[in-house]
Amino acid sequence: MSAADLLPRFWRSELRLVFGRLRNLAALGVLGAVPVLIAVAVRLSRPEDAQGPAFLSSITDNGLFVSLTAMTAVLPLFLPLAVAVVSGDAIAGESDLGTLRYLLTVPVRRTRLLVVKYATVVTFCFAATLLVGLVGAAVGLALFRAGRVTLLSGTTIGTPAAALRILLIGLYIGVCMAALGAVGLFVSTLTRYPVAAMAATAMLAVTSEVLDAVPQLHAIHPYLLSHWWLAYGDLLRDPMSFLSVGQGLVSAAAYIAVFGTLAWARFGGRDISG
Partner 1 sequence: MTRTAAAPDVRRPSTADGDEAVRTSGLSKRFRSGPFRAGQLAVDGLDLVVPRGSVYGFLGPNGSGKTTTIRMLLGLISPTAGGVTLLGRPIPRDAAAVLPRVGALVEGPAFHPQLSGWRNLARLDAADRSADPRTTAARIGAALERVGLTAAAGKRYRAYSLGMRQRLGIAATLLRPRELLVLDEPTNGLDPQGTREVRSLVASLARDGTTVLLSSHLLSEVDQICTHVGVMNAGRLVSQGTLTELRAAAAPRVHVRTTAPGEAAAVLRRAGVTAVTVHSGEVVADLGGHAPEALLRGLVLADVPVREFRVDAADLEDVFVGLTGEGFDVSG
Q: What count of residues does the chain have?
A: 274
Q: Is 10 in the site for partner 1 (CB under 8 A)?
A: yes
Kindly state the smallest distance separating residue 190's Cβ from partner 1, in Å.
Answer: 16
Q: Is the dihedral of CA 146, 148, 150, 156 positive or negative?
A: positive
Kindly state the smallest distance separating residue 167's Cβ from partner 1, in Å.
Answer: 32
Applying CB under 8 A, the span of 8-16, 196-204, 228-236, 245-253 interacting with partner 1 comes to: 8-16
Kindly state the smallest distance separating residue 124's Cβ from partner 1, in Å.
Answer: 17
Which residue, 104 or 134, has its beta carbon nearer to partner 1?
104
Q: How far is CA 106 from CA 101, 103, 109, in A?
A: 9, 5, 9
Spatial CA neighbour of 131 closest among 30, 38, 244, 44: 30
> Could you give the string, one character per residue 189-228, with x where binding to partner 1 holds by CB under 8 A and - elsewhere?
----------------------------------------
Kindly state the smallest distance separating residue 256's Cβ from partner 1, in Å.
Answer: 24
> Would you tell me how many other CB atoms lie within 10 Å of the CB of residue 172?
22
Reduced DSSP (H G I as helix, E B as strand, rest coil) percent helix, strand, coil of the chain, to 5: 75, 0, 25
CB of 272 within 8 A of CB of 189? no
Which residue, 106 or 243, has its beta carbon nearer to partner 1?
106
Count of residues in contact with partner 1, rule CB under 8 A: 24
Which residue, 94 or 212, has its beta carbon nearer to partner 1?
94
> Would you tell me how many other CB atoms lie within 10 Å of the CB of residue 268?
12
Q: Give the separation between CA 215 and CA 212, rounded to whole angstroms.
A: 7
Contacting partner 1 within 17-56 (CB under 8 A): 17, 20-22
Q: Is the dihedral of CA 87, 172, 234, 250 positive or negative?
A: positive
Contacting partner 1 within 75-114 (CB under 8 A): 97-99, 101-109
Q: Is 266 in the site for partner 1 (CB under 8 A)?
A: no
The binding site for partner 1 (CB under 8 A) comprises: 9-10, 12-13, 17, 20-22, 97-99, 101-109, 269, 271-273
